[in-house]
Structure 1
Amino acid sequence: MTTTSLTPAAAPQAPVTAAHDLTGKRRIAFASYVDENYLPGFLVLLRSLALSNPSVCEDFVVLHDDLRPGSIAKIRALHPRIVLRRVNAEHYDSYKKGDQDNYLVRKAYFILDVFRIREYDTVITLDTDMVVLGDLGELLKLREGLAAVPQFFYGQHKLNSGLLVIQREYLSDAFCAKLDATGRSGDYELDKHDQGILNAVLDGDFVRLDARYNFVKRRLSGDLPVPEDTAILHFTGRHKPWQGGESGYSQAEERWREFEMSDAEFHAAYLNSSGGLHHDLLVHFGTPHVKRTGNVEYARKVAAAHIAAGDYQDAVDILSGVRIPLDEAWPHEVLGHALMSVSRHDEAKAQLLLAAAAPNRAATAYARLAQMAWVHGDNAEALKYATAGLAVDPTHRSSRLWAQRAASVPAQELGAPEDQLAHVAFYMDRQGNAGDKLLPETVRLGFGPDTTTRRWHSVHAHRYFDKAALDRVNARRGLVIGGGGLFIPDTMPNGNSAWQWNVPDEHLRAIDVPIMVYAVGFNAFDGQSYRAGRFRESLRLLVEKSAFFGLRNHGSIAKVRAMLPAHLQDKVRFQPCPTTVSRQLVPGWTDPAYREDTVLLNAAYDRAGLRFGHDYAHFLGEIAKAVRAIGAHTEVRCVAHSLDDEKIAFDLRREHGISLPVIPMYDFDNDEIRELYAKTRLVIGMRGHAGMIPFGVGTPIISLISHPKMAYFLADIERPEWGVSVHDKNLGAVLTERAIGILDDHAGTVADVHDRQRELWKVTEANAADIRAILGA
């Protein structure tokens, strides 16, 4: 096998790649052709879509040729993700038509421009004379073919083009060429326009949808009521509700007029919708409504949405703009949460104490007060608040966590300061994420075999780095920053740096010992971003101050370099995560004499919406197929890095009748983690360290890619085939084929893992030499 050296001088310069291209996450859009005549219908369509599907917000492509600026403004007010796309009207002049001079007939073909869209994997078209009355979730899950409802009058062979669910294979030049050829030949039902062309090209080859997804008005002739299960009602024919309607369809038109409302009525209706509200819609509709009304409950909802997305200052701003009564505990608690997330702790404390007066919010408020006290190094105060939270609710998990942290006694430091390195890391709690527990120790192994307090002074990244902490660091030989994806905005937010180390610029500038950033990752998810300039400013200062700045993959390097001025970009270099070379670092390591005949399966559920989108049911079904097939060769077990990871076992049993033994790795110590992964034959993992740790101890891996960092690592070791997207249409078959292939050639794959690891070790050794020179050791 040909290998390529990954030494610093030869390291590839990875471009910044779009996250969805790395994770395979499906991009979905709705689309409509809209003109001034049909604008009233489209505005009702948008309102009905939001109110009937309040948790759904995908791009909405508006095909148009003559919309006025005021009309566009009205459209944008009703959807936060409008994508305007002007149609090439002249393109359709060459089509043969039943009435060449009728402008309505000419425009009927413009919706065919949807097939010229290339940015999405699935596009759902909706006619502007439709109103959405029910859940469209099943349409969003469709993965195959071109789906539509058969025509009402013509049987199953022909489709009604008012609703189309179009997959990527039809969004192609080849399919557009077929449409053009048919349109120009006139070999179709001319009076059916775009629908006639589609039926001629498809000739019945489409996926049949239930009529409730395109329930045409004609089915209700004689003023019949709209069936309760109707998802989309379609006002076909000449007479439209906004033009006065048609006799004999009053009950249908009443359903349409339910969504003919003012902005204030619409915003209030959305904010009062039951079920989960989509962040983008909640913010888009809630912000002007709060400004208009000053409603505290709506302000709380919008602020909570901002917090969930990591937009903490926006949450502060909206709640600070309304008057919160003293006895409204929940808004006080949310404002307190937002304020502490931007490091305005005195104000946050006042808000949280107000919230703690109400029994239903007290436990959460006390837990946040305990967190703030712990962040500032006051363990006694933190324990007091955490205990108060547990007194209100003995089952409150967050209060219990902060009580445990506050009561823990730091290990006694055995070494002299001048002989120690300070180490900023995220030190994980007991029963926390197994990978994060292992990381700090493994980072230290990169600097030598002694990982104890004789050589190391621990600095928890999440605690405020105050003047006393600064003095302690400056008394050491140097400062190592590493132990996780510290460049992430939301695990433990703060306003000082906007990343995981809670360090203000003034104290970062005052560090006068060598700073070594070691194998840190840029861990933003697909759909997650750093929106604050504060992060960029802190990052730039950190790079300027660092004597060594190493990131764990080239994807992270590209992301960080893009945020830096040109003169700092070359300081950013490749330092693999030390877990990937554990066999070289762990003192006395020996490869296992035998391996258990097992495959370990790991799935992650933090930020599940960002990981799976609309595809979780698909993912689960495909994993069930793979588990059954792989299980015929060897035993499959679930390995849980955190408590939440056990969900895969519960869901497989409930939905597919598959029972897997669960290994609670969150309870393991570091040696037990490495030993378990070294003694299995294959690890199929979704967490980054469910790939890097087993790889590091010499075990073959297959990564379930739901986060860009998984693809980054596989690119660095030049084995992209060891990963498969959780969104892959054929995930079960692909995973089975690759797993069985690895098991059948296990010795060869282990040798390949060792070979790939040697390349990472070369980089690590070269960097270690540079670090020794920096430290004068």
Structure 2
Amino acid sequence: MTTTTPAEMPPAGIPPADAPVPAQPAPANALTGKRRVAFASFVDENYLPGFLALLRSLALSNPAVCEDFVVLHDGLRPASVARIRELHPRVDFRRVDAAHYDTYAKGDQDNYLVRKAYFILDVFRMRDYDTVITLDTDMVVLGALDELLRLREGLAAVPQFFYGQHKLNSGLLVIQREYLSDAFCARIDEVGRSGDYELDKHDQGILNAVLDGRFVQLDSRYNFVKRRLSGDLPVPDTTAILHFTGRHKPWQGGEAGYGLAEDRWRAFELTDAEFHAAYLALPGAKHHDLLVHYGTPHVRRTADPDSARRVATAHIVAGEYQEAAELLGSVRIPVDEAWPHEVLGHALMSVSRYEEARAQLLLAAAAPNRAATAFSRLAQIAWIHGDDTGAAQYALEGLGVDPTHRANRLMYKRTRDAEAPDEGPAAGQLAHVAFYMDRQGNAGDKLLPSSVRLAFGRDTGPARWHSVHAHRLFDEAALERVNARRGLVIGGGGLFIPDTAPNGNSGWQWNVPDELLERIDVPVMVYAVGFNAFDGQAYGHGRERFLSSLRKLVERAAFFGLRNHGSIEKVRELLPPSLHDKVRFQPCPTTVTRHLVDGWTDPAQRDNTVLINAAYDRSGLRFGHDYGHFLAEMATAVKGLAGRAEVKCVAHSLDDERIAFDLRREHGIALPVIPMYDFGNDEIRDTYARTRLVIGMRGHAGMIPFGCGTPVISLISHPKMAYFLSDIERPEWGISVHDRHLGARLVERAAGLLDDHAAAVADVHGRQRELWKVTEANAADLQLIQAGVRV
């Protein structure tokens, strides 16, 4: 358990933790504020065996944790670097400035161990992380480190065992960003050069002199020193980190009287084959990077199909579909092992190898425990190819196996009564590629196609529009239908994302092969599309496919408009300079709803409500280690706002209701839930227009209410939120979900908007007018394009 001293105060220059809503150091990730966390150790050749054991112990004790590991060193052999890389997928080698520490006063200047003892202090010179956890190389990790990863305040350490509670043991430090500063480094240098510290304690002596007892005290189980086990005592079961202090190290032969402790260390003295097998055999969740890093050589060594299935599943979850197909396709899967067949089928369909996928999924469908999922994927393949009858049949077979299977139920409803819309004459229509959301789907995605169409005219129905679902295969028949129209509109939404409706034809949401894209001979207008990748999300092996498709689309487009300048910057980075000027700004049409909807009138009176939206898709990318912090801060915010308005949860999708469940379970707070996923477009707009304030995490939980004239505060967990607020020049309307004082800041900013609500609404209207000017200017160009005039 973490404790703090009653008089705990940070050193000079560091704001106290209990200051009222203080400014905080700029986060390493400036857009989302997501904390960047790293482990760090100083490693040399003498201590390399200890460090390798430490890396193995960290992975085996915390299989779901994989942060960057910074290796500070003063020179390592290439073979040593290679061994370290084999044991950790995110290692970062940084050479220390050894000469810098030669200026420090020391007890023994000629002892190389004394000289190197100071090199770990280089960690305070790192500026690209928000939290750094240092570990001595004579440690092994025996338990979960979740509590350390959640720490947000101060500099934390375990007090020294023999010297009372006011001095820390520097073997483990949890350092927050305010200490990773020039000011704190200057204080370290000042003390080190003056010699005004316990010289025989080296780096630890300097830190104790600088901090003078002002540190967050951790329980001893996080730095359990070997000396406490003298007399061959067993290691307590609660020990999270065991520290082999003293001259005698386990890899050097050890020390009499500590046999049981050293047995714990030797449990991590494993060959690569033993280590990989041990990691894969662990129960529970595993981190993608670790599972792939250890699992891939294990599969190559053993050709075990179940191990291959687990590694391939990790690839799929991360959007690495080609990697999954290659790995699982490299092993022989017995006919009766349904699960690997199903996963391979999933990977193959995600890279558009549909016939191979069908074969794998049919094998999987023969096993009752995998049949429902296999049938749902077979139904998806049939639907992608325009076979609604076949899709409905597969979905029905899946429901016969499992009547509760949601994907099969939704597909059956989508296809059983599918009829071609009663469209007007083709020559008078525009074709529209979009993601057309099913019932109970994301409310923002449901509203988008209609909003895009409003930007082209008041008639959004089938008389004027021919719908082309982005996720269905764009084949010869689809090409013929599009070319019979007078133009093709693509948008809106964040279509440039690798893991929503993956395919191997384009690498983004529209399932269009290059050769068919090139044969579209009507004007192509890309309208308000977004680049929607999360921080840390990449295209993997599909990157080249995406780049090729993107370039051909930009080349072919008569109009290419992206919905924020952040997306423009990202897309331009992927294009040759000759295409940069074709990429222009077109705000999402939901942000100018008041100007688009025919007969729009602002509400004469608003409900006294504040609507809160939280998103849970890809929650690891959104929250990192901070979900508990986010939830507690939201509880603070809800309590703080309760006296001003009724606070409700607005759920764009079913998963968004989780915040209501979690607040009730963890904090005893009950929030009414508005199931917006069940609403029609008019009801969505009306609900947002009539509330006083929306605090939203989804992009369209900010853009839709803003477009309806309602003040918003964005809970930023994705770059697109920051992009939008930057475009409207109101970054203060956004707060990171990782903000240390999120609850207090939300209450403060919400109170400002609610107390002078008329001014807040007027500000929204003013910002919206600027977006409308851009939209009107683009509309003039779009009219010329539709008339056959090149712009």
Name the residue aligned to 2:97.
88
| Aligned-partner SS, 2:558 | strand
Q: Which of the residues 326, 338, 353 maps onto 2:362? A: 353
Name the residue aligned to 1:700.
711
Name the residue aligned to 1:427.
436
Q: Which of the residues 685, 693, 699 maps onto 1:682? A: 693
What is the distance in 2 between the residues matched to 1:499 and 1:421? 22
**For residues 54 and 287 of structure 1, do their structure 2 counterparts lie closer, same or farther at Cα, with a shift above 3 Å needed?**
same
Equivalent AA in structure 2 for residue 547 of structure 1: A
What is the distance in 1 between the residues matched to 2:273 and 2:617? 35
Q: Which of the residues 516, 524, 531 maps onto 2:533? A: 524
Name the residue aligned to 1:559.
570
Kept in 1: contact 2:423–2:465 (CA 8 A): no
Asked if residue 235 in structure 1 is aligned to residue 244 in structure 2, the reply is: yes
Asked if residue 20 in structure 1 is aligned to residue 29 in structure 2, the reply is: yes
Shift of 1:19: 9.8
Asked if residue 381 in structure 1 is aligned to residue 407 in structure 2, the reply is: no
Shift of 1:274: 1.3
Kept in 2: contact 1:19–1:526 (CA 8 A): no
Name the residue aligned to 2:406.
397
Kept in 1: contact 2:28–2:127 (CA 8 A): no
Equivalent AA in structure 2 for residue 293 of structure 1: T
Name the residue aligned to 1:12.
none
RMSD of equivalent CA atoms: 1.0
What is the distance in 2 between the residues matched to 1:380 and 1:415? 25
Shift of 1:424: 0.3
Shift of 1:483: 2.4
Alignment length (residue pairs): 761
What is the distance in 1 between the residues matched to 2:660 and 2:348? 38
**For residues 166 and 694 of structure 1, do their structure 2 counterparts lie closer, same or farther at Cα, with a shift above 3 Å needed?**
same
| Aligned-partner SS, 2:31 | helix
Shift of 1:18: 11
Kept in 2: contact 1:518–1:551 (CA 8 A): yes
**For residues 393 and 386 of structure 1, do their structure 2 counterparts lie closer, same or farther at Cα, with a shift above 3 Å needed?**
same
Asked if residue 158 in structure 1 is aligned to residue 167 in structure 2, the reply is: yes
Shift of 1:252: 0.6
Name the residue aligned to 2:288.
279
Name the residue aligned to 2:10.
none
Asked if residue 643 in structure 1 is aligned to residue 654 in structure 2, the reply is: yes
What is the distance in 1 between the residues matched to 2:141 and 2:112? 27
Asked if residue 444 in structure 1 is aligned to residue 460 in structure 2, the reply is: no
> Could you give the per-residue CA deviations for residues 466-490 of structure 1, whole angstroms, max 9, x where no partner exists?
0000000000010000021111111
Shift of 1:412: 2.5
Name the residue aligned to 2:218.
209
Q: Which of the residues 701, 718, 721 maps onto 1:710? A: 721
Kept in 2: contact 1:20–1:526 (CA 8 A): no
Matches within 5 A, 1:100-499: 100-410=109-419, 412-499=421-508
Kept in 2: contact 1:48–1:133 (CA 8 A): yes
What is the distance in 2 between the residues matched to 1:130 and 1:286? 25
Equivalent AA in structure 2 for residue 44 of structure 1: A
Kept in 1: contact 2:622–2:717 (CA 8 A): yes
Kept in 2: contact 1:133–1:230 (CA 8 A): yes
> Could you give the per-residue CA deviations for residues 192-249 of structure 1, whole angstroms, max 9, x where no partner exists?
0000000001000000000000000011111111111100000000010001111111
Shift of 1:411: 5.4
What is the distance in 1 between the residues matched to 2:429 and 2:703? 28
Kept in 1: contact 2:28–2:35 (CA 8 A): no
Kept in 1: contact 2:716–2:734 (CA 8 A): yes
Shift of 1:64: 0.4
What is the distance in 1 between the residues matched to 2:307 and 2:417? 40
What is the distance in 2 between the residues matched to 1:407 and 1:99? 83
| Aligned-partner SS, 2:132 | strand
Shift of 1:405: 1.7
Asked if residue 617 in structure 1 is aligned to residue 625 in structure 2, the reply is: no
**For residues 18 and 235 of structure 1, do their structure 2 counterparts lie closer, same or farther at Cα, with a shift above 3 Å needed?**
closer
Name the residue aligned to 1:7.
none
What is the distance in 2 between the residues matched to 1:579 and 1:227? 59
TM-score under structure 2 normalisation?
A: 0.96
Kept in 2: contact 1:461–1:500 (CA 8 A): yes
Kept in 2: contact 1:149–1:211 (CA 8 A): yes
Kept in 1: contact 2:606–2:692 (CA 8 A): yes
Q: Which of the residues 15, 24, 31 maps onto 2:40? A: 31
TM-score under structure 1 normalisation?
A: 0.97
Shift of 1:273: 1.1
Name the residue aligned to 1:673.
684
Asked if residue 734 in structure 1 is aligned to residue 739 in structure 2, the reply is: no
What is the distance in 1 between the residues matched to 2:574 and 2:479? 27
What is the distance in 1 between the residues matched to 2:538 and 2:591? 27
Could you tell me which runs of 5 or more consecutive residues in structure 2 were left unpaired when the two chains were aligned: 1-25
Name the residue aligned to 1:572.
583
> Could you give the per-residue CA deviations for residues 313-360 of structure 1, whole angstroms, max 9, x where no partner exists?
100110111111101111000000000000000000000000111111
> Could you give the per-residue CA deviations for residues 553-611 of structure 1, whole angstroms, max 9, x where no partner exists?
00000000110001111000000000000000001110011000000000000000000
What is the distance in 1 between the residues matched to 2:160 and 2:149? 22
Shift of 1:516: 0.2
**For residues 263 and 344 of structure 1, do their structure 2 counterparts lie closer, same or farther at Cα, with a shift above 3 Å needed?**
same
Kept in 1: contact 2:388–2:418 (CA 8 A): no
Equivalent AA in structure 2 for residue 228 of structure 1: D
Kept in 1: contact 2:28–2:130 (CA 8 A): no
> Could you give the per-residue CA deviations for residues 403-426 of structure 1, whole angstroms, max 9, x where no partner exists?
122224245233100000000000
| Aligned-partner SS, 2:44 | coil
Shift of 1:401: 1.5
What is the distance in 2 between the residues matched to 1:362 and 1:18? 47
Name the residue aligned to 1:760.
771
What is the distance in 2 between the residues matched to 1:288 and 1:162? 33
Equivalent AA in structure 2 for residue 461 of structure 1: A
| Aligned-partner SS, 1:570 | helix
Kept in 1: contact 2:27–2:35 (CA 8 A): no
| Aligned-partner SS, 1:187 | coil
Using CA pairs under 8 Å that are at least 6 residues apart, name the structure with larger relative contact order, 1 or 2: 1
Equivalent AA in structure 1 for residue 727 of structure 2: D
Kept in 1: contact 2:398–2:405 (CA 8 A): yes
What is the distance in 2 between the residues matched to 1:85 and 1:412? 62
Equivalent AA in structure 2 for residue 113 of structure 1: D
What is the distance in 2 between the residues matched to 1:298 and 1:64? 35
**For residues 490 and 391 of structure 1, do their structure 2 counterparts lie closer, same or farther at Cα, with a shift above 3 Å needed?**
same
Name the residue aligned to 1:14.
none
Q: Which of the residues 60, 74, 80 maps onto 2:83? A: 74
What is the distance in 2 between the residues matched to 1:129 and 1:674? 60
Asked if residue 746 in structure 1 is aligned to residue 746 in structure 2, the reply is: no
Equivalent AA in structure 2 for residue 743 of structure 1: L
What is the distance in 2 between the residues matched to 1:505 and 1:103? 62
> Identity percentage over the alignment?
77
What is the distance in 1 between the residues matched to 2:29 and 2:676? 30
| Aligned-partner SS, 2:29 | helix
> Could you give the per-residue CA deviations for residues 533-559 of structure 1, whole angstroms, max 9, x where no partner exists?
000000000000000000000000000
> Could you give the per-residue CA deviations for residues 95-146 of structure 1, whole angstroms, max 9, x where no partner exists?
1111110011101111111111111000000000000000000000000000
Kept in 1: contact 2:635–2:669 (CA 8 A): yes
